[in-house]
Amino acid sequence: MKPIVVTENIICTLGEGPMWSAHHGKIFWVDIFEGTVHGLHIQTGETESWAMGARASVVVEDADYNLLVVCQNSNKKLNPLTGKIVELSTFEEGLPNNRPNDGKLDPKGRLWFGTTDHLEQNISGSIYMLDNEGRLHKKLTDFGNPNTFAWSPDGTIFYLADSVKQTMWAFDFSLETGGISNRREFFSLAGTDIIPDGSAVDAEGYLWNAQWNGWRIVRYAPDGSVDRIIEMPVSCPTSCAFGENDLDILYVTSARKGQTEAQLAGQPDAGKLFKIDAKIPGVAVGSTPSH
């Protein structure tokens, strides 16, 4: 399971949110600090990039194969064929220092995302769900830096981390309503320098978590125990997603943010996109309705 660099030409300050599109045959991801969406065609190796005009943190696909991008204070639709960008809705307009950080679609195609203080000074983040009718619901408050947004294969367990608290939680999840309950600790890295970041769930119900400052991806069993550790050549992997035809290739984003020149000298691939032959398929991600 050796990580392989797949984008020599794209180096992100804060790469995040990888998302596989079978329709486009591409992995899409974002550079939050640069406000850019990137796309890699896995067969040709060709890349494209789109400037969103604001910090962009989450990218998912709608039913028409457009990209829904969660940006600072607004949701935007990007047509990856034409490059056309349309603003759909706004949120947290009264919190100019807040930005989204991570998010995913739940099994019913509802968009979940979390916000954080970009200046890293206040605990001002919240958890939101955008339902299939385009209505925004605030689900949780008082988050430092929300991460992960992942579901068990049967959709009954929701995983969510707060990187500030270095803790990953599990919740009971209602597929019908999107309700969450019975919050409990799944694992904690408190007391270490390692921070739980973005995750993906495989078909066996194990959670693969990218760990900031950890130089690693960790696969956790459904009971929260460590199943395996995959060493990374960069200190700050940020998130992961399963892709390609059999959904058995794990794509991993990474960051250069906060690293000194000396630190970066020891990890020249920081900020690049990687792939790992997981040999275990992931869970397919749905699409939002068209808006």
Confidence of residue 107 (pLDDT cuts 50, 70, 90): very high
Q: For the domain covering 4-277, report its CATH number.
A: 2.120.10.30
Region 6-12: mean pLDDT is 94
Checking DSSP bridges between strand 167-173 and strand 180-188, what pairing results, if any? antiparallel
How far, rounded to the nearest angstrom, does the alpha carbon of residue 188 sit from its chain's CA centroid?
A: 19
Q: Which residues are catalytic?
A: 197
Q: Could you tell me the strand order of the sheet in which 26-31 lies? A: 15-21, 26-31, 36-41, 47-51
CA 112 vs CA 87, 148, 179, 217: distances in Å: 18, 10, 12, 23
- Measured from the Cβ of residue 151, the count of other Cβ atoms closer than 10 Å reads 23
pLDDT tens for residues 182-207?
999 999 999 999 999 999 999 999 99
For the residues of 104-116, what is the DSSP string, one character each?
EE-TTS-EEEEEE
Stretch 167-175: mean pLDDT, rounded?
Answer: 98
**What average pLDDT does the chain have?**
95
Are the C-beta atoms of residues 126 and 143 closer than 8 Å to each other? yes
pLDDT band for position 120 (cuts 50, 70, 90): confident
- Domain coordinates in residue numbering, the chain: 4-277
pLDDT score of 119: 85
User: pTM for the whole thing?
Assistant: 0.96
In this predicted structure, what is the pLDDT of residue 291?
56
217-231, pLDDT tens digit by residue?
Answer: 999 999 999 999 999
| Among candidate residues 108, 109, 107, 113, the one with its CA nearest the CA of residue 91 | 113
Q: Which two tokens stand for residue 38?
A: 């990137």
Residue 86: both structure tokens together: 């349309």
Amino acid at 220: Y
Length of the chain: 291
CB-count exposure of residue 102 (10 Å: 0-12, 13-18, 19+): buried
* Confidence category of residue 287, pLDDT binned at 50, 70, 90: low
Q: Structure tokens of 238? A: 């940020």
